[in-house]
Amino acid sequence: MVKKVALAYSGGLDTSVCIPILKEKYGYDEVITIAVDVGQPEEDIRKADAKAQKISNKHYTIDAKEEFVRDYIFPLIKANGNYEGYVMGTSVARPLIAKKVVEAAIKEGAVALAHGCTGKGNDQLRFEAVFRQTDMDVIAPMREMNLTREWEINYAKEHGIPVEATKSKPWSVDENIWSRSIEGGRLEDPSFVPPEEIYEWTKS
């Protein structure tokens, strides 16, 4: 029997290196990647699709923009939802992304669900609150292996996976219809002054 795992896929460094890791370290035969479109830039979706077609066994791109706005953003606006002034675009998108990953996993007959979240943030909880409502195993390679972005960059190069992150710019960007969030690398250091490219949605 072919062991399949469904991976919530963004096209970024973390989820891209998860593909060979799930095969080499966890013993899965096939990795099904699922990218959920909640309003990311079209170029990001295109790049994720192109990369996944090369390195995964099967790839889905699911358009969930309308559902995201109707069932998640509108209720958030009505509730004046924010966290100490922080727009919760990232956090509110995760349950919907997880839901779509589960639906694709069931369709594919997968026995496990995976995500690329680390053990440092809340995204792991947002995905797993949905994933653990199923009978499938839940895998979090980044958290379980305690991987660093530098290690991931080197691992990706060894496996021929194209990545845009570098050791000097190791942060990741999460963008959707509602917000744009940047995290990782030197941005976690309060003394580091973020470069202008970080502020793509704003100007002084």
Between CA 10 and CA 77 the distance in angstroms is 25
Tell which residue, 28, 45, 24, 27, has the closest CA to residue 36. 45
Q: 37, 172, 179, 180: which one is catalytic?
A: 172
**Which of 10, 56, 94, 180 does the annotation list as catalytic?**
94
Residue 196: how many other CB atoms lie within 10 Å? 8
Q: Are 5 and 139 in contact (CB under 8 A)?
A: yes
Return d(Cα 48, Cα 162) in angstroms, integer: 11
75 CA to centre of own chain:
23
Q: Is 70 a catalytic residue?
A: no
Q: Contact at 8 Å (CB) between 18 and 141?
A: yes
Residue 168 a catalytic site member: no
Determine whether 71 is an active site residue: no
CA–CA gap between residue 69 and residue 66 (Å, rounded): 5
Is residue 96 classed as helix, strand or coil in its secondary structure?
helix
- Taking the C-alpha atoms of residue 123 and residue 143, their distance in angstroms, rounded to an integer, is 11
135 is catalytic: no
How far is residue 20's CA from residue 116's CA, in Å, rounded to a whole number? 13
Q: Are 4 and 108 in contact (CB under 8 A)?
A: yes
Catalytic residue among 10, 123, 149, 174: 123
The residues assigned a catalytic role are 14, 94, 123, 172
